Amino acid sequence: MAIEGPLRELGIHDVFQMLDLSRKTGALRVTSAERDNEGTVLFERGKVISASILSSPTPLGTMLVRAGRITDADVERARAMQRDGDRRRLGEILLALGAISGRELERQVRLQIEAVVFEMMAWRDGFFSFEERDVGVVPLEASVHVSTESLLMEGARRIDEWSRIADTVPNLTVVPVLAAIHDGAQAPHLDLLPSEWEVLAIIDGTHDLRAIAASLGRSEFDVAKVVYGLVTTGVVELRQAPPETGAPAAAADAQPLLESARAALAGGRAADALEAARMAVLAAPRNVEARLTVARALRRLKRVTEAADELRRAADLDPGHPETQLELGYAAAAQGDLRAAVERWAQFLRSAPGSIAASEVRGAVESARQLSEFLEVYAGV
């Protein structure tokens, strides 16, 4: 039975503690409508073995290149092997090629887990759902088991640090801009770390902190800390974002990601398709096609419940979209709800009677109706 509820009633810290103390194994999914974000954490006997978040779906290869552990050529070589039919995960291939050590791979995956969990711990509004299930079948980049207790302690420390910078950086929707240097004033001396230069270089007076974090694949907390330092030294000023800033550009940025996701799906690489499609959703959260592609990738990966949730978000954006209704029918059928499947497919046929899939769907509708009627009679309904 699933454990679920709103974060207002049981905070994310308490949820993690409960799963740790009860040594649970399964998947925790946390969504936040306020942030238009969601995260998934896998537990094995109370320890965290994997974590991902929609707002920062940084592929492992990109993360390792940014950390200076491998080169772009290493990633391209590993990706080429995958395109040629190698079914191993990227981390496994990089290990086999000798591009990275097992210890370093585990360290980087651990850092990625920590970044995701710390980000989620700042959420106050949202909904959580934990499903007990076997996580041994989930393909992971590296075998790590992170202590939940240590994550909670470090998360509490970060929350305290957030409270100290809140007067200067009130929220993640503020837009950093380079401070003007007035006549006669001396430019401040900059002695920045590479990670701080990376943030400073992307500040353009248009994107807010959340968008900068997503673009860099960095946690919102890390970016806010860097910007806090830049503000206090007079290098940067903060402004409120104007409505709809950057929306057309975001939609344009989503298209190549969406095309990459579709190509990966067509090539049988569902995990790669999921990564690219989620990045497309990040670039354009209201793009129905991007959310549909996420759902299709999840369905290929047998993550039926998550696929159904993503389809519901797509339906909220465009209730009449034919492909959404088609996919919702597949999702309902996979979950054993034949009546709902028939209803969804009927809606699809009404809105797209001439579709290539229409003939196949009509056959599925008739078969589902017959089976549903048989089961109702058999059950005495």
Q: Is residue 248 part of a domain?
A: no
Which residue reads 């996580």 in tokens?
A: 135
Residue 42: name the closest of 127, 130, 106 by CA: 130
Among 108, 135, 160, give the residue marking a domain's end. 160
Q: Is residue 249 part of a domain?
A: no
Shared domain for 156 and 175, answered yes or no, is: no
Which DSSP string corresponds to 233-245?
TTSEEEEEPPTTT
- pLDDT of 189 reads 66
Q: Is residue 332 part of a domain?
A: yes
CB 111 within 8 A of CB 56: no
DSSP 8-state assignment for residue 68: T
pLDDT tier at 379 (50, 70, 90 boundaries)? low
The Cα–Cα gap between 289 and 276 comes to 13
The Cα–Cα gap between 186 and 375 comes to 81
How many independent structural domains does the chain possess?
3
Mean pLDDT value across residues 199-222: 79
Q: Is residue 285 part of a domain?
A: yes
Shared domain for 41 and 137, answered yes or no, is: yes
Among 120, 141, 160, give the residue marking a domain's end. 160
The Cα–Cα gap between 111 and 117 comes to 10
**Tokens describing residue 119:** 């980000």
**Tokens describing residue 273:** 């398709």
pLDDT tier at 365 (50, 70, 90 boundaries)? confident
The Cα–Cα gap between 291 and 303 comes to 15
- pLDDT of 58 reads 60
3-state secondary structure of 287: coil
The Cα–Cα gap between 364 and 361 comes to 5
- pLDDT of 206 reads 84
**Tokens describing residue 73:** 């050529």
The Cα–Cα gap between 293 and 62 comes to 22
Shared domain for 228 and 340, answered yes or no, is: no
pLDDT tier at 319 (50, 70, 90 boundaries)? confident
Mean pLDDT value across residues 369-378: 67
Average pLDDT, the chain: 80
Shared domain for 141 and 9, answered yes or no, is: yes
- pLDDT of 141 reads 65
Which residue reads 């790590």 in tokens?
A: 144
Amino acid 275 reads E
Q: Is residue 87 part of a domain?
A: yes
Domain extent at residue 286:
255-379
Q: Domain of 361: which CATH number?
A: 1.25.40.10
Shared domain for 73 and 221, answered yes or no, is: no
> Dihedral through CA 31, CA 32, CA 38, CA 39, nearest 10?
-70
Q: What is the pLDDT of residues 11-40, one digit of tens each?
A: 888 999 999 999 999 999 999 887 778 889
pLDDT tier at 194 (50, 70, 90 boundaries)? confident
Shared domain for 280 and 342, answered yes or no, is: yes
Shared domain for 24 and 122, answered yes or no, is: yes
E-strand spans in 76-205? 127-132, 174-178
CB 283 within 8 A of CB 254: yes
Shared domain for 128 and 190, answered yes or no, is: no
CB 47 within 8 A of CB 147: yes
The Cα–Cα gap between 25 and 131 comes to 8
Amino acid 218 reads R
- pLDDT of 335 reads 66
Shared domain for 152 and 177, answered yes or no, is: no
Q: Is residue 119 part of a domain?
A: yes
Shared domain for 7 and 85, answered yes or no, is: yes
Q: What is the pLDDT of residues 253-302, one digit of tens each?
A: 677 888 888 888 888 888 888 878 877 776 677 788 888 888 888 888 88
- pLDDT of 17 reads 92
Q: Taken in order 318, 323, 329, 334, is the CA torsion positive or negative?
A: negative
Which residue reads 């047998």 in tokens?
A: 302
Shared domain for 78 and 92, answered yes or no, is: yes
The Cα–Cα gap between 124 and 10 comes to 10
Among 94, 129, 160, give the residue marking a domain's end. 160
Name, in order, each residue with C-beta under 8 angstroms of 75's C-beta and a sequence gap of 6 or more.
Answer: 61, 62, 64, 65, 90
Q: Is residue 370 part of a domain?
A: yes
Shared domain for 42 and 156, answered yes or no, is: yes
- pLDDT of 119 reads 80
Name, in order, each residue with C-beta under 8 angstroms of 240's C-beta and a sequence gap of 6 or more.
Answer: 173, 174, 175
Q: Is residue 245 part of a domain?
A: no
pLDDT tier at 44 (50, 70, 90 boundaries)? very high
Half-sphere exposure of residue 52: CA atoms within 13 angstroms, side-chain side: 14
Q: What is the pLDDT of residues 81-111, one digit of tens each?
A: 888 888 787 888 888 899 888 888 888 888 8
Residue 128: name the closest of 42, 30, 33 by CA: 30
16: left (phi over 0), alpha (psi -120 to 50) or beta: alpha
